[in-house]
């Protein structure tokens, strides 16, 4: 919302304050000033001058030499403009003065200084100004020529300050109005807040309409068929309309608000919309068939041409304004081409109505047009405001000589809601705020805001324009705003102490991050939504469960349309980004959810599963990645044997270099080398390794409990075995045998040699393990070990493994 300070001052006459001070104070009472701009920025020494003589420049065809009368002096000025004539009054900037812009529309930060000089040998003592040079937008001045000097009306006084005359000695403030303060989307609303902020009187316009003897009933009837969408519809009729320009004070205010002056009738409706926050519409009475207005829903599939010449598609939830035979406007959004006001209009029907905000908002969205009016209606306007606004408009029509007002108003309204009364308790408000503000102070704040304290009921009566106030908490905010948020003390909550803590699963995640970073992995972050094409890139079969996704109905585009069911796409994309930027030896990890629907289409919330995803290329291999996983498991107390099943069945991983990770018979994740085809799909030109751990599966096994087991007192006994093993047997299977059959003295085992080659027969490999045994409470004897070793060897034999001699 943009408004000139002078318009606010029209209702708060005693307001006398600097721009920055005003900004700060308004912001602290809740009417936030986003920015402000002086309209006379870079405009200096610009006066109203009259052209007394014009001669051709002797040496330049396109220049003329003007003699100017500025009252206090007479000047000669050379100009290239061709739209001036003797007798014209024009803005003149004199030596040492400044203009805000060039005639090409540019606006240098510090303006342009004007100095005396010679143009083609003829002296010039200043410059005649165009509207651009005055820092104004041409579109805002319908009377300004396309090219050339801005010629002022003849009532301008020679020698006066032109900037002041044009209403530019003013500041435009841009307010950020919060959505609850519908009343503050109006000049009156802001002015009321300003008066309350600076504790100075607020003078609303006095609305009195001078009416003719004609009666509105003789002109018009109104019927509202769908009152559920239109709680109030007020109509008035004005006759003898004379279209012309609106007065300059009105044009100045509209311009400052960013509204282009057009003619008196249009300007008045726009002016009242800004002033009261109530949009209005004017129909040409001659076009209203049967002298009848009907408000009702449209019929599905019908079309209607709005006054911007566009044909709009209608549906049965769009509210229409109709006459006896046809549609003449889309309620609250835009009038029709067929009833729009032309220069020849004689009689107009003014409409000032209240429509249900949500319906207007949705309708405007469906139709695809958002107007100033619909933007106001969608906030939900006060029905009481409609009446005052239409009367204000009629008053201006009459006062500005734009027309005559027929007596009476047609008012179709549902019963207006009674004014809300909120029980008032100063104690309760002090309890909420933590303050000790006097009751009288509170009441005086309420009065400044036109909230009425009713003594004998101990209630505050809320005026209808404050639809945001419903309960004591709202009153507390009103008190706090004007008492001053900064004056409220600062304390810390008292009461029962609570333990601050990080829940267990987040502690586990923290450990995971620590381990990953220790191992050289940096944390990345990836989006939760991605393209359905990801599945093809990852070679995931058409019938895979992973393709059943939570799908966004209004995504930013297909590339962000599904919630990921697998975390690898983000990781591979990030690795590829790094690879293609020539970063060497990249290691990344990510924590983020996948979203697994319980059914498609979704009826209940999906399963959100936190994934710990690791990815790397460059230094290191499959076993580096495996090491990170084991490091992590040990850190979170998972000391049992981890099983790696090479048949993980992951299509996106190298078929011979992937493993499903299990812990205590539960699958907790997988790791592997990325499939060469997938690397190609991601434009990743180097071998890459990934691992994905499903955190919810891991959590039940994680523990930070530790027990000291004592440092071994008795010596360990080592036995090395060297084996010839069929190639297809995995060392994991050998370890399983050692683990299961090693007996209670088995302490540790370690692979120390692995060989495949010429010295070993075809189809076999050589594997050597070092196994250590240790007793907790005794030195082991030969017999203890022999027995265990025998069991192990028997087990190995069953796998077709031979001992090497």
- Binding to another protein (CB under 8 A) within 132-161 occurs at none
Secondary element (H or E) of residue 71: none
Whether 264 and 394 have beta carbons less than 8 Å apart is answered as no
Least spacing, CB of residue 643 vs another protein, in Å: 27
Whether 139 and 132 have beta carbons less than 8 Å apart is answered as no
Tell which one of 159, 258, 408, 520 touches another protein (CB under 8 A): 520
SS3 691: strand
By beta-carbon proximity to another protein, the closer residue of 95 and 450 is 450
Rounded Cα–Cα distance for residues 200 and 575 (Å): 64
> Binding of another protein at residue 473 (CB under 8 A)?
yes
By beta-carbon proximity to another protein, the closer residue of 185 and 283 is 185
Q: Which 544-563 residues touch another protein, going by CB under 8 A? A: 550-556, 560, 563
Tell which one of 58, 157, 527, 802 touches another protein (CB under 8 A): 527
Tell which one of 274, 378, 398, 673 touches another protein (CB under 8 A): 378
Least spacing, CB of residue 74 vs another protein, in Å: 44
User: How many C-alpha atoms does 414 have within 13 Å on its Cβ side?
Assistant: 14
Q: Which 16-35 residues touch another protein, going by CB under 8 A? A: 27-30, 32
CA angle in degrees (0–180, nearest 5) for 438-443-444: 100
Rounded Cα–Cα distance for residues 223 and 59 (Å): 72
Stretch in the footprint of another protein (CB under 8 A) among 342-350, 441-449, 457-465, 503-511: 503-511
Q: Which 173-212 residues touch another protein, going by CB under 8 A? A: 178-181
> Binding of another protein at residue 716 (CB under 8 A)?
no
Secondary element (H or E) of residue 381: none
Q: Which 588-647 residues touch another protein, going by CB under 8 A? A: 588-590, 592-593, 595, 601-602, 605-606, 608
Tell which one of 587, 675, 765, 774 touches another protein (CB under 8 A): 587
Query: How does 160-176 read in b/e, with b if 16+ C-beta sit within 10 Å?
Result: bbbbebbbbebbbbebe
Q: Which residues contact 332 (CB under 8 A, 6 or more apart)?
A: 279, 319, 353, 355, 360, 363, 373, 374, 377
Q: Which residues contact 550 (CB under 8 A, 6 or more apart)?
A: 562, 563, 595, 597, 602, 606
Contact map string, positions 335 to 374, toward another protein, x by CB under 8 A: ----------------------xx--x-------------
> Binding of another protein at residue 519 (CB under 8 A)?
yes
Q: How far is CA 119 from the centre of its chain?
A: 53
> Binding of another protein at residue 526 (CB under 8 A)?
yes
Q: Which 451-470 residues touch another protein, going by CB under 8 A? A: 468
Q: Which 412-451 residues touch another protein, going by CB under 8 A? A: 431-435
By beta-carbon proximity to another protein, the closer residue of 322 and 616 is 616
Stretch in the footprint of another protein (CB under 8 A) among 5-13, 160-168, 485-493, 711-719: 485-493
Tell which one of 110, 498, 647, 758 touches another protein (CB under 8 A): 498
By beta-carbon proximity to another protein, the closer residue of 162 and 586 is 586
The two beta strands, 459-461 and 74-79, are unpaired
> Binding of another protein at residue 376 (CB under 8 A)?
no
CA proximity to 740, closest of 800, 685, 788: 788
By beta-carbon proximity to another protein, the closer residue of 79 and 359 is 359
Q: Is the dihedral of CA 579, 582, 583, 585 positive or negative?
A: positive
- With 0-12 / 13-18 / 19 or more C-beta atoms within 10 angstroms meaning exposed / middle / buried, residue 295 is buried
> Binding of another protein at residue 37 (CB under 8 A)?
no
Whether 303 and 314 have beta carbons less than 8 Å apart is answered as yes
By beta-carbon proximity to another protein, the closer residue of 270 and 578 is 578
């Amino acid at each position: 919302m943009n408004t000139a300070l002078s318009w606010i001052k029209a209702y708060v006459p005693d307001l006398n304050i600097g721009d920055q001070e005003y900004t700060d104070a308004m912001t602290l009472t809740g009417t936030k000033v986003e920015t402000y701009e002086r309209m006379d920025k870079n405009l200096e020494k610009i006066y109203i001058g009259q052209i007394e003589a014009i001669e051709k420049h002797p040496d330049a065809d396109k220049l003329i030499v003007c003699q100017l009368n500025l009252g206090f002096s007479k000047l000669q000025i050379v100009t290239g403009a061709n739209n001036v004539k003797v007798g014209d009054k024009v803005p003149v900037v004199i030596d040492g003065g400044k203009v805000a812009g060039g005639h090409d529309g540019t606006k240098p930060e510090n303006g342009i200084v004007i100095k005396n000089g010679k143009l083609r040998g003829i002296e010039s003592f200043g410059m005649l100004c165009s509207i651009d040079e005055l820092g104004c937008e041409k579109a805002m001045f319908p009377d300004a020529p396309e090219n050339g000097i801005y010629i002022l009306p003849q009532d301008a006084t020679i020698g006066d300050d032109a900037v002041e005359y044009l209403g530019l000695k003013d500041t435009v403030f841009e307010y950020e109005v919060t959505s609850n303060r519908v009343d503050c989307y109006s000049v009156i609303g802001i002015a009321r807040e300003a008066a309350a902020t600076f504790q100075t009187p607020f003078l609303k316009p006095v609305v009195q309409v001078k009416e003719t003897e004609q009666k509105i009933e003789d002109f018009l009837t109104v019927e509202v068929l769908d009152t559920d969408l239109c709680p109030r519809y007020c109509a008035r009729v004005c006759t003898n309309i004379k279209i012309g320009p609106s007065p300059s004070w009105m044009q100045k205010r509209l311009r400052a608000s960013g509204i282009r002056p057009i003619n008196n009738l249009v300007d008045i409706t726009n002016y009242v919309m800004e002033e009261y926050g109530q949009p209005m519409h004017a129909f040409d009475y001659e076009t209203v068939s049967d002298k009848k207005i009907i408000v009702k829903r449209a019929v599905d599939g019908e079309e209607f041409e709005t006054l911007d010449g566009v044909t709009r598609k209608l549906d049965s939830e769009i509210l229409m304004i109709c006459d006896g035979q046809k549609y003449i406007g889309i309620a609250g959004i835009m009038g029709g081409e067929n009833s729009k006001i032309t220069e020849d209009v004689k009689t107009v029907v003014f409409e000032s109505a209240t429509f249900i905000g949500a319906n207007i908002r949705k309708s405007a969205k469906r139709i695809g047009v958002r107007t100033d009016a619909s933007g106001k209606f969608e906030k939900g306007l006060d029905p009481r405001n409609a009446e005052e606004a239409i009367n204000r408009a009629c008053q201006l029509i009459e006062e500005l000589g734009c027309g005559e007002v027929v007596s009476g108003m047609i008012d179709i309204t549902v019963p207006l809601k009674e004014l809300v009364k909120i029980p008032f308790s100063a104690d309760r408000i002090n309890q909420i705020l933590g303050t000790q503000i006097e009751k009288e102070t509170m009441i005086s704040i309420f009065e400044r805001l036109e909230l009425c304290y009713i003594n004998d009921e101990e209630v505050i009566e809320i005026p209808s324009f404050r639809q945001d106030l419903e309960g004591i908490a709202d009153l507390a905010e009103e008190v706090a705003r004007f008492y001053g948020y900064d004056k409220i003390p600062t304390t810390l909550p008292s009461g029962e102490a609570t333990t601050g803590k990080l829940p267990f699963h987040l502690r586990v995640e923290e450990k995971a991050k620590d381990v990953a970073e220790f191992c050289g992995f940096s944390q990345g972050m990836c989006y939760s939504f991605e393209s359905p094409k990801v599945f093809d890139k990852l070679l995931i079969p058409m019938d895979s469960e992973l393709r059943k996704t939570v799908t966004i109905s209004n995504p930013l585009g297909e590339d962000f349309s599904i919630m990921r069911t697998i975390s690898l796409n983000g990781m591979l994309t990030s690795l590829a980004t790094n690879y293609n930027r020539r970063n060497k030896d990249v290691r990344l990890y990510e924590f983020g959810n996948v979203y697994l629907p319980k059914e498609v289409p979704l009826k209940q919330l999906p399963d959100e599963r936190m994934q710990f995803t690791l990815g790397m290329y460059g230094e290191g291999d499959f076993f580096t990645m495996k090491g990170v996983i084991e490091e992590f498991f040990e850190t979170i107390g998972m000391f049992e044997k981890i099983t790696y099943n090479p048949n993980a069945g992951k299509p996106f991983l190298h078929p011979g270099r992937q493993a499903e990770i299990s812990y205590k018979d539960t699958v907790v994740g997988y790791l592997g080398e990325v499939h060469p085809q997938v690397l190609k799909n991601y434009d990743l030109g180097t071998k890459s390794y990934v691992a994905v751990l499903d955190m919810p599966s891991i959590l039940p096994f994680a523990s930070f409990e530790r027990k000291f087991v004592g440092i071994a007192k008795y010596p360990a006994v080592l036995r090395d075995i060297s084996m010839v093993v069929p190639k297809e047997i995995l060392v994991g299977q050998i370890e399983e045998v050692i683990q299961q059959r090693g007996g209670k003295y088995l302490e540790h085992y370690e692979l120390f040699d692995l060989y495949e080659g010429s010295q070993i027969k075809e189809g076999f490999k050589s594997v050597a393990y070092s196994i250590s045994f240790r007793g907790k409470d005794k030195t082991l004897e030969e017999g203890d070990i022999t027995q265990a070793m025998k069991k192990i060897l028997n087990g190995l034999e069953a796998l077709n493994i031979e001992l090497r001699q």
